[in-house]
């Protein structure tokens, strides 16, 4: 790790890359740090920075017997989540950003943020964080460099990315790298902006310390900038998990799946099959993001560009996700969870009884029965993917894995059946484009309102959503052997409002059917809306406590509900204006016609 005492002097920097050195010098002259530190990603650096963070009160050591190598961070109470309303796509033409993004003209954004960044690091350290999204040497991988004044960001980035010397070696003398500038500023929400400049491959983030706003390799580069690059370079950057499922006969099938928040995405990525599936194995390639390209064999290949998990803590337990619980057992950074008297962590939904006393996420005493949450509802863990007992041996393969199935899943109490296979690629893109989840009273004041979230990308698409959907349609031309596309819904309810399907590990039963469909091993029943499991050769229900009537209910397609659904989709397509892909609007009209007949 080389340090520069005077901003702008690059003599001890561990690189000779002229564009990188010039950019670091220019940004340091703007922000005026006391010193510059180039991060190398070494174990010695991790120890030194961790000790510094503890000394400065940024990290709190946890019980080394219960949580070896683990620390707790408490953020400012006004800075605990992504700020979608302060996240901007800055393109020259407003229409390129589209109606689902906040837009700011690039020159205006640079002017506004230059004023904020001016002198923002006086008395602070500017850390230069070179990192790779993707395995080193992979044709999928992208290099980024984040300049930050937050030691918390540095320690999180070394978990979430391949950070340090490896990134500088991969970059060499090239000027092709994402330029990320971040300062916590004074954490004033009135001066908080996360601005993406897709045409410049640049991200500026000011006024926040929360991971989703400041770990610039994650949503910012991997999805918002990544989706823009993917459109221009002919690949897909998606908010998708990747898993491999291996049958007892040794056949491994790789699946990518998109789920909006609170729809069981991480649970599915780390699923443990039920006892009836002895000999089956599910392994995690990635839990959140997939970069997919067409391989020389005409199949769609995918990598997980990340190296760690930035997961939501509340609700995670040994029933919902035992592999996630194992993943956070060591070398993990926890953010805004509660702490037990003996120095362990706790959150709502964790295993065991609620402790009598805790220190809550803001550092205040908390007692059982308190109306306030002990852990923030969006509290997080940052854990290395190597901690996952179910980690796929292909998780760091530079060539990625071949995707045989793509799954879209929302959270719907009715209408959408347990599983449905699309008729073809275009129909599958339609299913992904119109997916969504029902709101809760806590979120909107209204229950059961469907919020459309195309491909689970609504907050993360870096350009016009209509162009994004057209890009999906256009990709078929270059994929000689496209994946089969499916829609799932774990959350269908009965008349009393109870979930019909047990979920969790039993989702393996649906996954097995999908795998069998991919390999052409089981027949289906054709419906107006897609192919569904046949009652006689469909889902494996051995050992499942579910009546025939309940199974029929959770897999049923009710025409009246779908007529309403298709009518309600009209608002979404209208919002895309003239960029709504004609192929998708025709799909909708065709289904309306078929249902009407």
Binding residues for GTP: 262-267, 380, 411, 504-507
- The structure tokens 């070494």 sit at 42
- Would you call 263 a catalytic residue per the annotation? yes
- The structure tokens 């770990």 sit at 215
Pure H helices in 385-440: 425-433
Residue 182: count of CB within 10 angstroms of its CB: 28
Pick out the residues of the known binding site for Mn(2+). 219, 239, 288
How far is the CA of 554 from the CAs of 167, 413, 415, 558, in angstroms? 48, 10, 10, 11
Residues 6+ apart with CB under 8 A from 416: 410, 487, 489, 492
b/e 265-304 (16+ beta carbons within 10 angstroms → b): bbbbbbbbbbeebeebbbbbbbbbbbbbbbbeeebbbbbb
Pure H helices in 319-464: 322-327, 425-433, 441-444
CA neighbor of 290 nearest in space, from 345, 359, 235: 235
DSSP 8-state secondary structure symbol assigned to residue 111: H
- Cα-only R_g, the chain: 24
CA neighbor of 507 nearest in space, from 270, 240, 288, 249: 270
Q: State the virtual CA torsion across 72, 122, 34, 217 in degrees, nearest 10.
A: 50
Residues 6+ apart with CB under 8 A from 312: 261, 266, 378, 379, 380
What span, in angstroms and rounded, lies between the C-alpha atoms of 501 and 546?
8
What span, in angstroms and rounded, lies between the C-alpha atoms of 15 and 171?
10
Pick out the residues of the known binding site for substrate. 82, 210-212, 261, 378-380
Task: Say if residues 76 and 209 touch (Cβ distance below 8 Å).
Answer: yes
Pick out the residues of the known binding site. 82, 210-212, 219, 239, 261-267, 288, 378-380, 411, 504-507
What six digits make up the tokens of 508?
Answer: 């393996």
What span, in angstroms and rounded, lies between the C-alpha atoms of 435 and 267?
19
CA neighbor of 184 nearest in space, from 215, 219, 163, 225: 215
Task: Say if residues 582 and 474 touch (Cβ distance below 8 Å).
Answer: no
What span, in angstroms and rounded, lies between the C-alpha atoms of 131 and 41?
9
Catalytic residue among 70, 195, 263, 461: 263
- Helix H or strand E segment including 255: strand 252-258
What span, in angstroms and rounded, lies between the C-alpha atoms of 59 and 52?
9
Which residues are annotated as catalytic?
A: 263
């Amino acid at each position: 790790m080389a340090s520069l005492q005077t901003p702008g002097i690059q003599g001890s920097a561990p690189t000779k890359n002229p564009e990188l050195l010039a950019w670091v010098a220019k940004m340091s002259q703007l922000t005026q740090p006391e010193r510059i530190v180039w991060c190398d990603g070494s174990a010695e650096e991790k120890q030194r920075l961790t000790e510094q963070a503890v000394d400065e009160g940024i990290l709190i050591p946890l019980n080394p017997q219960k949580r070896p190598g683990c620390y707790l961070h408490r953020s400012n109470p006004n800075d605990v989540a992504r700020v979608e309303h302060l996240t901007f796509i800055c393109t020259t033409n407003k229409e390129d950003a589209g109606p689902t993004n906040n837009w700011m003209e690039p020159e205006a954004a640079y002017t506004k943020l230059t004023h904020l960044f001016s002198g923002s690091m006086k008395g602070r350290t500017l850390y230069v964080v070179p990192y790779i999204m993707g395995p080193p040497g992979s044709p999928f991988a992208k290099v980024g460099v984040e300049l930050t004044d937050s030691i918390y960001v540095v320690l999180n980035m070394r978990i979430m990315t391949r950070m340090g010397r490896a990134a500088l070696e991969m970059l060499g003398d090239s000027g092709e790298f994402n330029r990320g500038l971040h300062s916590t500023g004074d954490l004033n929400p009135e001066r908080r902006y996360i601005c993406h400049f897709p045409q410049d491959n640049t991200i500026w983030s000011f006024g926040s310390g929360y991971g989703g706003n400041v770990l610039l390799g994650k949503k910012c580069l991997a999805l918002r900038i990544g989706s823009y690059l993917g459109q221009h370079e002919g690949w897909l950057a998606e908010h998708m998990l990747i898993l491999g499922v291996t049958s007892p006969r040794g056949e491994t099938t790789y699946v990518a799946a998109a789920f909006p928040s609170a729809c069981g995405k991480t649970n599915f990525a780390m699923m443990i099959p039920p006892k009836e599936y002895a000999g089956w194995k599910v392994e995690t390639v990635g839990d959140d993001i997939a970069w997919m390209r067409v391989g020389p064999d005409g199949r769609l290949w995918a990598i997980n560009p990340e190296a760690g998990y930035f997961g939501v803590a509340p609700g995670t337990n040994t029933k919902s996700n035992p592999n996630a619980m194992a993943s956070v057992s060591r070398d993990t950074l926890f953010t805004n969870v509660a702490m037990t008297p003996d120095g362990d962590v706790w959150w709502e939904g964790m295993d065991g009884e609620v402790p009598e006393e805790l220190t809550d996420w803001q550092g205040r005493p908390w007692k059982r029965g308190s109306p306030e949450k002990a852990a923030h509802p969006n509290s997080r863990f940052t854990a290395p993917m190597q901690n996952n007992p179910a980690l796929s041996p292909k998780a760091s393969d530079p060539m990625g894995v071949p995707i045989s199935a793509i799954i879209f899943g929302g959270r719907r109490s009715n209408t959408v059946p347990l599983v449905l296979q699309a008729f073809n690629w275009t129909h599958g893109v339609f299913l992904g484009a119109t997916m969504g989840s029902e709101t809760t009273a806590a979120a909107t004041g209204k229950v059961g309102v469907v919020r459309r979230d195309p491909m689970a990308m609504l907050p993360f698409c870096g350009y016009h959503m209509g162009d994004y959907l057209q890009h999906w349609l256009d990709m078929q031309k270059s994929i000689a052997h496209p994946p089969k596309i499916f829609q799932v819904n774990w959350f269908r309810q009965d008349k009393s409002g109870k979930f019909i399907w047990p979920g969790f590990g039993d989702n393996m039963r649906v996954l097995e059917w999908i795998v069998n469909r991919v390999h052409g091993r089981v027949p289906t029943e054709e419906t107006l809306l897609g192919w569904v499991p046949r009652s006689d050769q469909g889902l494996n229900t051995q050992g499942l406590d579910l009546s025939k009537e309940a199974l029929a209910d959770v897999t049923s397609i009710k025409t009246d509900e779908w007529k309403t659904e298709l009518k309600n989709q009209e608002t979404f397509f209208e919002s895309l204006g003239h960029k709504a892909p004609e192929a998708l609007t025709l799909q909708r009209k065709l289904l309306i016609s078929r249902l009407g007949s």
